[in-house]
Amino acid sequence: MRVYGETIFAEMTRLAVETGSVNLGQGFPDTDGPRSLLEAASGHILEGVNQYPPGPGRPELREAVSRYRARNYGIELDPETEVYVTVGATAGIAAAMLALVERGDEVIVFEPMYDSYAAMITLAGGVRRSVTLRPDAETGRFAFDPEELRAAVGPRTRMVLVNTPHNPTGTVFTADELEEIARVCREHDLIAFTDEVYEFLTFDGRPHVPLAALPGMRERTLSVSSVGKMFAVTGWKTGWVMGPAPLVGAVRTVNQFLTFSANGALQLATAEAIDHQGEWVAAQRATLQDKRDRLAEGLAGTGFDVNVCEGTYFLMADIRPLGYTDGVEVARALPREAGVAAVPAQVFYDHQEEGAHLLRFAFCKRDEVLDEAIARLTGWHKREA
């Protein structure tokens, strides 16, 4: 059982501030999204869109979400009953776990995992069954063993939680991998919950494939995404849950007693931006791919063994070539000794020994910030050598 206290993100950020470190721990950009989006939000605030929006979200946003899912993936959604706006994807995750997981129900999760999953499954009274993503010895890409997935299913299994593109490993699940998951869900009549917040941040031409688009999965898949990663405005905390009406309705029933609604002006601005997202999102994807390569090369030059990243904001790096084995110890030492903050990956695992040797670095930063981090790490490594 995990002990829930200060999150590792808060601890690393606090250490970064105390030591004046370059913070590559928390996954938020240090530049804002498109100017047109920001100006639209300001305009709506000044127009007086500052009171509670409708509980399910502004209809303009629900309709825009429905359009982009149809346009990009061929998934048709009724904006009235199959799209629901939440206070960021995290609130959607919380409401979904509380709505759909009963005490003693088991939820299959892929580890390493975003820390909110473990906390919310626990709060709902559920039990986690972890399937570990491990890096391929030749390619460095994290993937799961289909037999381990099948072995995780038991008589109390209720749900499979899938995050793709995956935080923190950077893996983008392939259609074949998703079909393995879909087959398990269909055979055992399981709900699938998909966290797709990084859906537009895939690299090297890889497509994002929603699990709901696979045969027999639309009626059993609840999905969440948000504006934060789509348009680099993580502080806006505006997300949406999508799926069949009964599942979305269950989330709505719970969420009305959690956050109810928020951010009406931001919802309107987001709706307008989604319909014209293509050019800006494509440019962001290309920029982030360059930043991934920039940081990966720098970390490798410093002595880290860097794993393959196919999407998201993050790189996973192995500390063992540097002579270390305890990621938590290294992560806590780096701000003071090197002036750089990262996150120890083992906090994302139930089986913490699986990730004890890994650090997660965020590359969604300005080039000069990444270069400064690399220079500091290089100096630290030379002193340590």
- At residue 341, φ and ψ (nearest 5 deg) are -110, 135
Q: Tens digits of per-residue pLDDT, 143-195? A: 999 999 999 999 999 999 999 999 999 999 999 999 999 999 999 999 999 99
Task: Find out whether 84 and 252 touch, Cβ atoms under 8 Å.
Answer: yes
Q: Tens digits of per-residue pLDDT, 83-121? A: 999 999 999 999 999 999 999 999 999 999 998 999 999
Higher pLDDT pick, 47 / 11: 47
Look-up: residue for tokens 């950020």? 13
CA distance 45 to 174: 41
Task: Find out whether 381 and 305 touch, Cβ atoms under 8 Å.
Answer: no
Domains and CATH numbers, the chain: 8-27+279-384 (3.90.1150.10), 35-276 (3.40.640.10)
**Could you tell me whether strands 127-132 and 106-111 are parallel, antiparallel, or unpaired per DSSP bridges?**
parallel
Q: Tens digits of per-residue pLDDT, 331-366? A: 999 999 999 999 999 999 999 999 999 999 999 999
Task: Find out whether 92 and 86 touch, Cβ atoms under 8 Å.
Answer: yes
pLDDT at res. 7? 77
58: helix, coil or strand? coil
pLDDT at res. 2? 55
Higher pLDDT pick, 4 / 74: 74
Q: Above pLDDT 70, what percent of the chain?
A: 98
pLDDT at res. 193? 98
Residue 385 has pLDDT above 70, yes or no: no
Which DSSP string corresponds to 140-195? Answer: --EE--HHHHHHT--TTEEEEEEESSPTTT-----HHHHHHHHHHHHHHT-EEEEE
Q: Identity (one letter) of the amino acid at 198?
A: Y
pLDDT at res. 382? 84
pLDDT at res. 1? 45
Neighbours of 51 (CB within 10 A): 8
Q: What is the mean pLDDT of the chain?
A: 96
Q: Which of 364, 332, 360 is nearest to 346 (CA)?
A: 360
pLDDT at res. 58? 98
Quote the pTM value: 0.96
Q: Above pLDDT 90, what percent of the chain?
A: 93
pLDDT at res. 4? 58
pLDDT at res. 141? 97
Q: Tens digits of per-residue pLDDT, 216-241? A: 999 999 999 999 999 999 999 999 99
Instruction: List residues bridging with 359 in a β-sheet.
Output: 317, 344
Residue 295 has pLDDT above 90, yes or no: yes
pLDDT at res. 381? 87
